[in-house]
Amino acid sequence: MTNKYSKLALGLVVALPAAFSSVSAYALEAVTLRLAHNLDPSHVVAQTLEKMAEDMKELSDGKMKLRIYPGGQMGGPRETLEMLQQGALDMTKGSASEMESFESAFSVFSMPYLFRSKEHFNQVLFGEVGREMMQLPKEKGFLPIAGYVAGERSFYAGKPIQSPEDMKGMKIRVVSTPTTNKMIELLGGSPAPISFGEVYTALQQGVIDGAENNEPSYYQTRHVEVAKHYSEDRHTSVPDYLVIATQTWDALSEEQREILMKAAEMSEKYEQVLWDKEVQNSREKAAASGATFYKVDKAPFRAALQPLYDDAKKDPKKYSWIERIEAVGK
């Protein structure tokens, strides 16, 4: 592999060499990669992966195929990420939160109000900082090769949450990480790390008082039926990633890697378009189902959560990523 392409592929930058157009698909060896994820086939990322399979097959003249196992057939994200490490699976989808236990740098995405705007988030995820971060787990058995936007997470509950005071004593379901658990505690609530599939019943039965997620998840899971109040505090933006086993990556030829990376780049752009449409569609349908959306003053939430940043300063490695992210676009 040339130094130029090694930098592009392993650095995971968006642009591919112009020489890609000269790659002969007929010189490729046939390969079928197995990809498992826990998403419903209707999910935006699931649709994106199906489209990527089509693109990869077309780019390789049918020599490279993607066999997809959706809906948790091979387990949840932790299980499939571990399968990648073991060489028992080629690819999966993992969120930054799910990869945090494998590579601590991804914990920065759980930091509330780290991103100034959607544009800032995109500049990080698809720019130099985000691409550099994607290289980190390679020696641990897997390598993210594409990043997908997953919106902004906000609180929803059976009552409006418009200030930290409204959260006092509430049990809020979270994706359990040290950062998200501490976030809920600082806001006066109690974190409830129950599985995603149990959230509807837990809200319905009052086991929990609320949850936090983006608009498509809020509507598509029917949580809108049991938690009518969606408060747009937009505390975190946690990306999804397309992840490949290091063993699989190392076994691919240079030409196969080029085709895979081109299809991955195409999938990033396709997913962003689908996601924006899905957010708008979900908001409209949720409102029609009786949901009320609340604009929230973020300042009191940021102030209450400042101790998370004070604690992060005690971890030089983590805080250096935070500083680099904050500097993007300034």
pLDDT of res. 330: 82
pLDDT of res. 14: 36
Domains 15-150+239-279 and 153-237+282-327 equal at CATH topology level: yes
Domain boundaries, the chain: 15-150+239-279, 153-237+282-327
Percent of the chain having pLDDT more than 70? Answer: 92
Contact 224, 290 (CB under 8 A): yes
* Angstrom distance (rounded) from CA 65 to CA 47: 16
pLDDT of res. 140: 94
Following DSSP, what letter does each residue of 185-243 receive, concatenated?
Answer: HHTT-EEE---GGGHHHHHHHTS-SEEEE-HHHHHHTTGGGT--EEEEEEEE---EEEE
Contact 225, 292 (CB under 8 A): no
Per-residue pLDDT tens digits for 281-316: 999 999 999 999 999 999 999 999 999 999 999 999
Residues 6+ apart with CB under 8 A from 128: none
pLDDT of res. 27: 67
* Angstrom distance (rounded) from CA 205 to CA 185: 22
50: exposed, middle or buried (Cβ count in 10 Å: 0-12, 13-18, 19+) = middle
pLDDT of res. 9: 45
* Angstrom distance (rounded) from CA 156 to CA 293: 9
pLDDT of res. 312: 95
* Angstrom distance (rounded) from CA 95 to CA 265: 18
* Angstrom distance (rounded) from CA 239 to CA 214: 12
Residues of the chain with pLDDT under 50: 1-25
pLDDT of res. 24: 45
pLDDT of res. 177: 85
CATH for the 153-237+282-327 domain, from 3.40.50.2300, 3.40.50.1220, 3.40.50.10680, 3.40.190.170: 3.40.190.170
Q: What is the CA radius of gyration of the chain?
A: 20
pLDDT of res. 242: 98
pLDDT of res. 180: 92
CATH 3.40.190.170 fits 15-150+239-279, yes or no: yes
pLDDT of res. 196: 84
Contact 235, 301 (CB under 8 A): yes
